[in-house]
């Protein structure tokens, strides 16, 4: 490669690194050209450009751009997925992790997420999440908060998404938690709260004067009639 071409490539890489806050680095060793083209097409659909780079030129570009995090990842055959504006980093991570699992040769090394270094394990965790648009809609459907919190959810950096969700949920639980038991107990039926009305007592005088007369059974009536007949015969 001519010197002019190398300088041009370094300048292009330097500019791309300066303007890109999210990128993922992979070792493409063992992939065929059709597999690379297929992966490049998938990543492009999610807003990322997949480029095979030369480590020597990329190191020079990273030094010029001040991207020191990238230097440790430039070992062996290297390909970089540069996330463009409006791209979906979760979908890009999923595409790379899926390709690594399916091909068994692609290796995800790490990268940068919103300017922060990110490890391969973190990329795998991102790949398990739904796409960013769906994740946001799920959060909006599950969390009812003030308008400022919703705006913050959309504008927060991706690495702060978990912290923001935890903050919203904790604030909501703190708002409802202490009063919830009282609210639940206060909503019980009134019959459980009020004591049953006392049974009216009958005045003592009325109770003694209104005792029912004893009823005579048939056996007692027959005995009385027999006694009467016996007395009449004796007379």
Q: Considering only 5-19, 42-56, 72-86, 221-235, which range has the smallest mean pLDDT?
A: 221-235
Contacts of 79 (CB under 8 A, 6+ apart): 25, 26, 27, 28, 36, 50, 51, 52, 53
Distance of CA 219 to the CA centre of its chain: 84
Contact call for residues 148 and 168 (beta carbons, < 8 A): no
More confident residue, 184 or 14: 14
How far apart are the C-alpha atoms of 77 and 29, rounded to whole Å? 6
Tell me the per-residue pLDDT of 152-163, one tens digit each, with 9 for 90 and over.
555 555 545 555
Tell me the per-residue pLDDT of 26-84, one tens digit each, with 9 for 90 and over.
999 999 999 999 999 999 999 999 999 999 999 999 999 999 889 999 999 999 999 99
Average pLDDT (191-206) is 46
**In the chain, where the domains are located:** 3-128, 133-179
β-pair type (107-113, 78-83): unpaired
What are the tokens at 133?
A: 């648009």
Look up the pTM and report it: 0.59
What are the tokens at 96?
A: 């790379």
How far apart are the C-alpha atoms of 146 and 206, rounded to whole Å? 69
Share of the chain above pLDDT 70, in %: 56
pLDDT on residue 64:
94
With bands split at pLDDT 50, 70 and 90, how would you rate the model's confidence at 2? confident
What are the tokens at 234?
A: 């004796």
Query: Class assignment of domain 3-128?
Result: alpha beta
pLDDT on residue 138:
63
């Amino acid at each position: 490669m001519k010197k002019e071409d190398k300088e041009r490539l370094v300048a292009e890489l330097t500019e791309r690194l300066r303007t890109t806050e999210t990128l993922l680095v992979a070792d493409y060793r063992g992939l065929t050209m059709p597999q690379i083209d297929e992966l490049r097409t998938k990543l492009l659909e999610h807003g990322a450009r997949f480029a095979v780079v030369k480590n020597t030129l990329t190191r020079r570009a990273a030094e010029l751009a001040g991207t020191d995090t990238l230097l440790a990842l430039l070992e062996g055959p290297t390909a970089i997925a540069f996330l463009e504006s409006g791209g979906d980093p979760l979908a890009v991570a999923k595409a790379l992790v899926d390709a690594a699992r399916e091909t068994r040769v692609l290796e995800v090394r790490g990268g940068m997420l919103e300017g922060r270094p990110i490890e391969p394990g973190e990329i795998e965790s991102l790949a398990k999440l739904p796409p960013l648009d769906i994740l946001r809609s799920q959060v909006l459907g599950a969390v009812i908060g003030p308008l400022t919190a919703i705006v913050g959810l959309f504008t927060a950096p991706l690495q702060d998404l978990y912290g923001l969700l935890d903050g919203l949920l904790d604030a909501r639980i703190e708002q409802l938690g202490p009063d919830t038991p009282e609210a639940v107990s206060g909503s019980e039926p009134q019959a459980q709260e009020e004591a049953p009305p006392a049974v009216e007592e009958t005045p003592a005088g009325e109770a003694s004067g209104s005792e029912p007369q004893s009823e005579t059974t048939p056996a007692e009536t027959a005995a009385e009639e027999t006694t009467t007949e016996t007395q009449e015969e004796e007379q």
